[in-house]
Chains A and B, each alone.
Chain A
Amino acid sequence: MSENIFEVENLSLHYLGRFGDKTHAVTDVSFNMKQGEILGIAGESGCGKSTLVSGLMGMCIPPLYPTSGDVRVRGESLMNRTVEDIRSNVLAQKVSMIPQGAFNALNPVRKIKDIAADVIAAHQKPGSSMKASEIYERLRSRFDLFGMDTDRVLNSFPIQLTAGERQRSVIGISTLLNPQMVIADEPTSALDVSTQKEVIKMIFDLLDKGIFSTMIFITHELPLLYHVADNIAIMYAGEIVEKGTAEQVVKDPRHPYTKALMGAMLSSEKSQRTRKPVAIEGAPPSLAKKIVGCRFAERCSFARPECKKNTQNIRMVGDREVRCEYAQ
C-alpha cells in the first residue's frame, strides 16, 4: 500500500468579517490521497470549493483564516506558515493550481513566454540565474509536449490565442515546475465541448508523462468527473457529504444530497432521455450563522425530525464515506 502523498485532516476555514463575525466556509474536511490518485470534488456554486482550494494550498490570505485542522504534502504541514514561506517553498513546486477562465488568468499585456518565465524566475535558488535563452529553451521543450505551435504561442499575447491554446498555456505554466500535487479548479468551464476534450486529454498526457501524478479536479459537472476521477467527494455547505469511488458516487449515490444532485442532472443517454431533471428545492443554509443539525435537512426529501437537531458526522457505508446517519 503506497503512502499518502496528500493528507487533509479536519480542515475548517472561516472568513473574518469587519465586525469580527465569522463565516465558516469550510468545515471538518478530511481526506487522504495516494500517489497517482485523481480526486474529483463536486458541489453547487457557493458550497466552499474555491475556499477549500485556498486552504489546500496553504494560501489563507486575510480575511480567510484556518479555524482548525491540517494539510500535509508528503508529511510536511502547510498550516501556520507565512504567505512568503508558502510562496517560495510550496506553490508551483509542491502544490500547484490550474485556475478556471484562462482568458482572465493570463495577463493581457504580457506575452505567454514572459508569464511563464516569471514562474521559473520566482523559484530560482539564490545565486543561480538562468539566461533568458536558457529559460526560453526550457519553456519550448515543455510547451512542445502540448502539441501546439510552440514558438507562436510563446511569443503571443493571450488575446492572439484561441480559447484552447490559452487554457493549455495556463496548464503549461501551472505545471512548469513538475508539482507533486495539482489542483484543477474547474479547468474546463467556459470551454466548448471539443476544447474541453482537448484540455482533458492534455491533462492526462501530462499525467502519463509523469509531469505530475496526483490531482484534485474540481467541477460542478459530475458526468465529467465520472470519466476523469478515481474518487469523488461531494461538497455541500462547506462539508464533504459523500466520498467514494467515481462509480459508487455517480452510479449509486447514497447521501440524499448526492441523489438529489444526480436527479437534477441532464443526461444524454438514450435510456435517461425521458427522465425529467428535478431541481433541488430551497437554498443552502447561511454559513455565517451557527447551524444545528444536518445542513441539508431543510431541503432533504428523506429528512426526519431529528435530522434538524443532530449534527451529522461522516460514517462508513460499505467502503464509502457518507455524512448521514440514515443513509443505507
Chain B
Amino acid sequence: MVKLLKNLLKSPMFVIGVSIFLITLAIAFLGPVFYDVDTNARDIVAGPYAPSSAEHILGTDHLGRDYMSLLISGLRSSLYVGFVAGIIATTLGVFIGLFGGFRGGWVDEVLNMGTNLFIVIPSFVILVLISSAVKDGRSLTLIGLIIGLTTWSWSARAVRAQASSLRSRDHIALARINGASSFTIVIKHVLPYLLSYVFMVFIMQISSGILSEASISMIGLGPLDSTSLGIILNQAKDNGALSDGIWIAFLPATLIITLTVFALYLVNTSMEGVFNPRLRK
C-alpha cells in the first residue's frame, strides 16, 4: 500500500489532482471555521450585488446574500451529492457487474440486458423526469440517490467485463477445486483484483454526480432544502447575471465545478497510469 502510494506520488498529475481536490474539500468543510457561512442561505447581509469588501470577500448575490458564504455552502452540498451518487452507483454497479459476470449463464444475461437498457435510455432524461415528479421534499440526499440509481450502468458493465474474464482464470479454478465457496472466491480472489478498478470507477462516479447535480439544478430541478453550486448558477441565470455581465454571480461557481471535476479526472488518469501495467512508465 505504501509502495503504491509512493508510486502514485511520483506522478505530477496525481499530486496536482489530489491537491486541488483536497483544497476543495478543505474549503467546503473547514471554510465555516474561518468564515461565517450561512448554511440555510437565507441571511440578507447587504444590498443586491454589493461589491467585495472586507466583510464580504466576493460581495453579495441578487438578494444581498454573502456570495462567498453561498459558494462554501454550495460546494459542500455538491460534494455531498457527488459522494452519495458515487457510493450508490459504484455499489450497485459493482454488485450487479460482479454477480452477473462471475455467475454467468441466464442470470448474467438478464442482468446484462437490464444494464444495457439503462445504458441506452439517457440517464439525464430519467433524472429530469424523476426530479420533476418529486415536487416536495426534493432533498440533497434524494437528488444524490436519483443520480446514483440512474448512472450505475456504466460501472456495472465495466465490472462485469472484468469479473467475466476472471471467472475462467486458473487460480479461480484452483480455489474452486480446493473447495472454496463462490462467496469466498468473489471476496478473496475476484474483488482484490478489481479494487483499483472499482476505486477509479468510484472517482468517476463522484465527478459524474457533481456534474449531474449541477445540470439538474441549473434547469431548476435541484434540491429544495439547500444551496448547491448548480442552484447558484440557476439563480444567476434566472436573474440575468449572464446578460447583465455580472460575472461574479456565475464565474466562481463554474470555476469551482470545473476545477473539482478536473481534479478528479487527473486523479483517475494518474491512477490508471500506475495500476495499468501497459500504461506504466
CB of B278 within 8 A of chain A? no
Check: B244 CB closer than 8 A to any chain A CB. Answer: no
Q: How far is the CA of A172 from the CA of B10 in the complex (A)?
A: 40
Say yes or no: A118 contacts B170, CB within 8 Å.
Answer: no
Chain A, range 95-122, C-beta contacts under 8 Å to B: 96-97, 99, 101, 104-110, 114-115, 118-119, 122
A99-B173, A118-B184 are known contacts. Are A91 and B192 too (CB-CB below 8 A)? no
Residues of B within 8 A of A84 (CB): 181
Q: Are A104 and B171 in contact (CB under 8 A)?
A: yes
In the assembled complex, the Cα of A108 lies from the Cα of B193 at a distance in Å of 9
Q: Is the CB of B170 within 8 A of A101?
A: yes
A88 touches B170 (CB 8 A): no
CB of A197 within 8 Å of the partner chain: no
Contact call A110/B174, Cβ cutoff below 8 A? no
Question: Taking the complex as formed, is B130 at the interface, i.e. its CB lies under 8 A from any CB of chain A?
Answer: no
- Rounded to whole angstroms, the CA-CA distance of A109 and B193 in the bound complex is 7
Q: Is the pair B171, A92 in contact by a Cβ cutoff of 8 Å?
A: no
- B170:A57 contact, CB within 8 angstroms: no
Highest count of chain A CB atoms <10 Å: which of B170, B171, B193: B171
Do B178 and A106 touch (CB < 8 A)? no
A-B contact pairs, 13 of them (CB 8 A): A84-B181, A88-B181, A91-B176, A91-B177, A101-B170, A104-B170, A106-B171, A106-B174, A107-B188, A118-B175, A119-B179, A122-B178, A174-B178
Q: Sort A-B residue pairs by CB-CB distance and give the 4 closest, nearest first.
A: A104-B170, A107-B171, A91-B179, A122-B179
Number of chain B interface residues as a range: 10 to 19
- Give Cα A123 to B177, complex, Å: 12
Q: How far is the CB of B196 from chain A (nearest CB, A)?
A: 10
Q: Quick check: A57 and B184 within 8 Å, CB to CB?
A: no
A160 to chain B, nearest CB (A): 14
A34 within 8 A of B: no
Is the CB of A305 closer than 8 A to any CB of chain B? no
Known: A106-B171, A122-B178. 18 other contacts (CB 8 A): A62-B105, A87-B176, A87-B179, A88-B181, A91-B179, A92-B179, A97-B177, A99-B174, A101-B170, A107-B188, A107-B189, A109-B192, A110-B192, A118-B188, A119-B179, A122-B179, A122-B180, A123-B179
With A106-B171, A107-B171 as contacts: A92 and B188 at CB distance below 8 Å: no
B3 within 8 A of A: no
Q: Is A297 interfacial (CB 8 A cutoff)?
A: no
B169 on the A face (CB < 8 A): yes
B105:A122 contact, CB within 8 angstroms = no
User: Chain B nearest CB: distance from A64 CB in Å?
Assistant: 12
**Contact between B179 and A88, CB atoms less than 8 A apart:** yes
How many A-B pairs fall under 8 Å by CB? 70
For residue B170, which residues in chain A have a CB less than 8 angstroms away from its CB? 99, 101, 104-105
Q: Mark B153-192, 1 if CB is under 8 A from A, else 0.
A: 0000000000000000111011111111100100011001
B181 touches which of A87, A170, A176 (Cβ 8 Å): A87
User: A88 to B105, alpha carbons, bound, how many Å?
Assistant: 23
For B233-260 the 0/1 string (1 means CB < 8 A from A) is 0000000000000000000000000000
**Residue in chain A with minimal CB distance to B188:** A118
Residue A79 at the chain B interface, CB threshold 8 Å: no
Task: Please measure, in the bound complex, the distance between the C-alpha atom of A28 and the C-alpha atom of B179, giving whole angstroms.
Answer: 28
Chain B positions within 8 Å of A106 at CB level: 171, 174
**Shortest beta-carbon distance from A15 to chain B in Å:** 13
A241 within 8 A of B: no
CA distance A229 to B176 in the complex (A): 27
A105 touches B174 (CB 8 A): yes
| A173 at interface, CB cutoff 8 A | yes
**A181–B194 Cα gap in the complex (Å)?**
35
Answer whether residue A234 sits at the interface, using C-beta atoms and an 8 A cutoff: no
A59 within 8 A of B: yes
CB contacts under 8 Å to A, within B51-107, are: 105
How many Å from the CB of B27 to the closest CB on chain A? 37
How far apart are A318's CB and chain B's nearest CB, in angstroms?
37
Q: Are B188 and A110 in contact (CB under 8 A)?
A: yes
B174→A122 contact, CB < 8 A: no
Q: Which residue of B lies closest to A88 (CB)?
A: B179
Collect the chain A residues with CB atoms within 8 Å of residue B176's CB. 59, 87, 91
